[in-house]
Structure 1
Amino acid sequence: MERNKPIGVFDSGIGGLTVVKRLASVLPNESIIYFGDTARVPYGSKSNATVVEYSIENTNFLLHKNVKAVVVACNTASSIAIPELRKRFDVPIIGMIEPGSQMAVNQTRNGKIGVIGTRATITNQAYSKSIKILNEKIRVYEKACPLFVPLAEEGWINHKATYEVAEEYLKELREEEIDTLVLGCTHYPILAAVIQEVIGCKVQLIDSGVASSEIVKKEISRIGLESDSNVQGNISYYVSDIPTKFKEVAGLFLGNPVEEVHKVEIEELVSLHSAK
């Protein structure tokens, strides 16, 4: 049945696991297929055209796995590729930007919101534009934090270097007295404890993956595609590079060992795109 097809999720690396973890919590009976494009991480330093191309390839791959919806669990891809994906594909495509922006607007008390993300997300002002549409009076302070992605990919969750990098990145936002900080990259919740300690306990962290998971739940229910299974869904993992590091960091973050990760060749992704 259509409703028992899996939900597809893709990201440039391990960051999208923060979304998978939340999806599995709010939709426990849904199966999930996750693709991490670990051979081409990070997306934040790539051109817009390249990010769109990779996103199309990733979506094609997931659709060949017979998914019923695609979650773009990458803020860079969400900020650049969503319009093209929605134009090309006839399944629900859910991104990170709008849900995260709405949650931030709902949570702020003093109207000062910080946003951290990759260079591409910040350069495109994706969150700033989205937040201003919701409430033009809110002041938005954005900061690119490109080193957070490789730190998360390495699993340096409580490493001294991570604290030092966070201190350097976040000092300007502290000075602006923000009360809400959007983690504008799905890798960043992996480093949430460090970010919270450095930015201060009074600042509320917004995880766009949490917000987007609620949107996924509403959307598949709205179109009648929620699973009617009464058993826990399965999660399958695919990556485009050697799975060893992914398994190690994924198990650490998810709290459970990830036993099986399938490697996908880049040539396969490209050929699926070319066949369209």
Structure 2
Amino acid sequence: MQQPIAILDSGVGGLTVVKEVLRQLPREKVIYFGDTARAPYGPRTPEEVRQFTREVVDYLVQYDPKMIVIACNTATAVSLLDIRARVDIPVVGVINPGARAAIGRTKTGCVGVIGTEGTIKSRAYEDALRLLSPHVQVVSEACPQFVPLVEKGNFRSVETYEVVRSAIEHMRSYPIDCLILGCTHYPYLSETISEVMGEEVNLINSAEETAREVSAILQDQQKLAKSEHIPVHHFFCSGDPKMFKFIAQQWLGEQIELTPVIWQVPNIS
């Protein structure tokens, strides 16, 4: 039995991180929890987000994970230090990896950040970016309508385009050349976001960088899976299992067709 990597999110957004972990680390077993019944976390108070994150983590630790990945920007912003203090295994968030990627790629020194209300209010990305590059110009925008679109599976439509255009088109007036998708739900809308912002703007998806960080930490601790056996992944959601499974299968595609998957709806409260 190999120890799994536990990945959690407020909903389906964290599946963007799962996809990268499965691609980069195909031998690793993944336990994923999407708290779809209480999504989105963005409009909730920091106290609520901390409580929900604790409940999900408390549920996941029964599977004896070797690492926890908080694949939710809002939860990372307000709960990362709290969860690190509660468990004795590595806990990785998605904000610092995304910030590092943006600083490494910007040429104009102007970076855009879009995220939930909670993430933008926390200024977590702004702080992370300025820690890496004190003179970087940061333009932030909360996009509360994006997560509900994704949770409904509405990735590409006239409605989606209009919602995205209305929310972020004004950001084109700044010399932004990198736009951080500061919510793991947003890569589902990346085609539409790119249409609105223009192809000259690089979209920074922190999922790829987060998976690299996961790999580096596990390698450093000599905890990378060595088994040749095909891992059995577990996917949990607290809300509608049909929509969750539909979006997961659509997004992950071949990544989960190649391995056995157990789908469950647990009771965490």
TM-score category, normalised to shorter length: over 0.9
Q: Is residue 102–residue 131 contact of structure 1 (8 Å, CA) maintained in 2?
A: yes
Q: After the TM superposition, which parts of structure 1 deviate over 4 Å for at least 4 consecutive aligned residues? A: 256-260
Q: What is the aligned counterpart of 1:251 among 249, 253, 260?
A: 249
For residues 32-75 of structure 1, give each alpha carbon's deviation from its aligned partner in whole angstroms, at most 9, with x where no partner exists.
00000011000001100111111111111111122111000000
Which residue is 2:5 aligned to? Answer: 7
| CA distance in structure 2 between the partners assigned to 1:242 and 1:197 by the alignment | 31
Give 1:241's aligned amino acid.
G
Give 1:31's aligned amino acid.
K
Structure 1 residues 62-81: aligned runs within 5 Å: 62-81=60-79
Q: What is the aligned counterpart of 2:156 among 155, 158, 165?
A: 158
Which residue is 2:186 aligned to? Answer: 188
Which residue is 1:216 aligned to? Answer: 214
Which residue is 1:88 aligned to? Answer: 86
Q: Unaligned regions of 5+ residues in structure 1, if any?
A: 271-276
Which residue is 1:274 aligned to? Answer: none
| CA distance in structure 1 between the partners assigned to 2:86 and 2:265 by the alignment | 26
Q: Unaligned regions of 5+ residues in structure 2, if any?
A: none
- For normalisation by structure 2, the TM-score amounts to 0.95
For residues 126-163 of structure 1, give each alpha carbon's deviation from its aligned partner in whole angstroms, at most 9, with x where no partner exists.
10010000001110000000111010111111111110
SS in 2 for 1:110: coil
Higher alpha-carbon deviation: 224-233 or 253-262: 253-262
For residues 82-130 of structure 1, give each alpha carbon's deviation from its aligned partner in whole angstroms, at most 9, with x where no partner exists.
0110111111100001111000000101101000000000001110010
Aligned alpha-carbon RMSD (Å): 1.3
| CA distance in structure 2 between the partners assigned to 1:188 and 1:199 by the alignment | 14
SS in 2 for 1:181: strand
Aligned residues: 265
| CA positional deviation for 1:240 | 0.6
Q: Is residue 30–residue 234 contact of structure 1 (8 Å, CA) maintained in 2?
A: no
Q: Is residue 108–residue 175 contact of structure 2 (8 Å, CA) maintained in 1?
A: no
Q: What is the aligned counterpart of 1:56 among 54, 57, 66?
A: 54
| CA distance in structure 2 between the partners assigned to 1:232 and 1:29 by the alignment | 7
Which residue is 2:20 aligned to? Answer: 22
Q: What is the aligned counterpart of 2:263 among 243, 261, 264?
A: 261
| CA positional deviation for 1:260 | 4.6
Q: Work out the percentage of aligned pairs sharing the same amino acid.
A: 38
Q: What is the aligned counterpart of 1:129 among 127, 130, 136?
A: 127
| CA positional deviation for 1:231 | 3.7
| CA positional deviation for 1:15 | 0.4
| CA distance in structure 1 between the partners assigned to 2:197 and 2:240 by the alignment | 35
For residues 215-247 of structure 1, give each alpha carbon's deviation from its aligned partner in whole angstroms, at most 9, with x where no partner exists.
000011111211111244332100111201111
| CA positional deviation for 1:209 | 1.1
Q: Is residue 119–residue 144 contact of structure 1 (8 Å, CA) maintained in 2?
A: yes
Is 2:98 aligned against 1:100? yes
